[in-house]
Amino acid sequence: MVRCDVLTFGDFVAKSGRRTPYFVNAGRYRTGAQVAELGRFYAELVVETFGDDVDVLFGPAYKGIPLAVTTAIALAEHHGRDVGFCFDRKEAKDHGEGGQLVGAQLRDGDRVVVVEDVTTAGTSIRTTLPLLRAAADVEVLGLVVGVDRRERGSRTDVTALDELAAEYGLQVAALATVDDLVEHLRDREVDGRRVLGNDDLDRLAAYRATYGVG
């Protein structure tokens, strides 16, 4: 994540509106090798969490689109599971085949897993679920993300992922938590550069004290 400039430290504003000392931007995975490796990680997490009980992966536009595609490829190539994938348009198409979803056509009974880069307050998934359920009588099994920021949700004092799990009956899983990232990068150099300075650690601690859980 550091080598790909996906994980950066500084002063940012998250989709939730919170000012944050670190940012995760999966849009900065930019080569085939990077995305292929990421897909293998996601596929392993999907299998570990849901087994074979998945029919379709859904990637919310825009960053979720390549994540759903590369995860579907990895499931086929490394796990012998040929699942569908689909994603949404930002605006419904009023010509050609029309509609707002692209890719696998959702059917009644399909078991769907949503694939995202990061969840801060759960805003995106609350938009996604009504869209999926309007397309067909699907069962949205859960949500897998790259990073769990371990922050309070928008409605309760538990994490955003735990809040979504309780609110919608989802299984949720993450490749890593912010605590995993900090623990791994603390006092570590990446390509000769120290990634986390003392100021970064102080800002992270203050931010976690304000918004963090656990």
Write out the binding residues for orotate.
120, 149
> Active site includes 184?
no
- Residue list, annotated binding site for 5-phospho-alpha-D-ribose 1-diphosphate: 15, 62-63, 89-90, 93, 95, 116-124
DSSP state of 212: B
Active-site option among 78, 79, 95, 184: 95
- Residues annotated in the binding site, as ranges? 15, 62-63, 89-90, 93, 95, 116-124, 149
Q: Is 63 exposed, middle or buried (0-12, 13-18, 19+ CB in 10 A)?
A: buried
The one catalytic residue among 78, 79, 93, 184: 93
**What are the angstrom distances between the C-alpha of 130 and each of 110, 136, 213?**
15, 10, 27
DSSP-derived 3-state class of residue 1: coil
15, two tokens: 């989709």
Burial grade of 188 (CB within 10 A; 0-12, 13-18, 19 or more): exposed
78 is catalytic: no
Catalytic residues: 93, 95
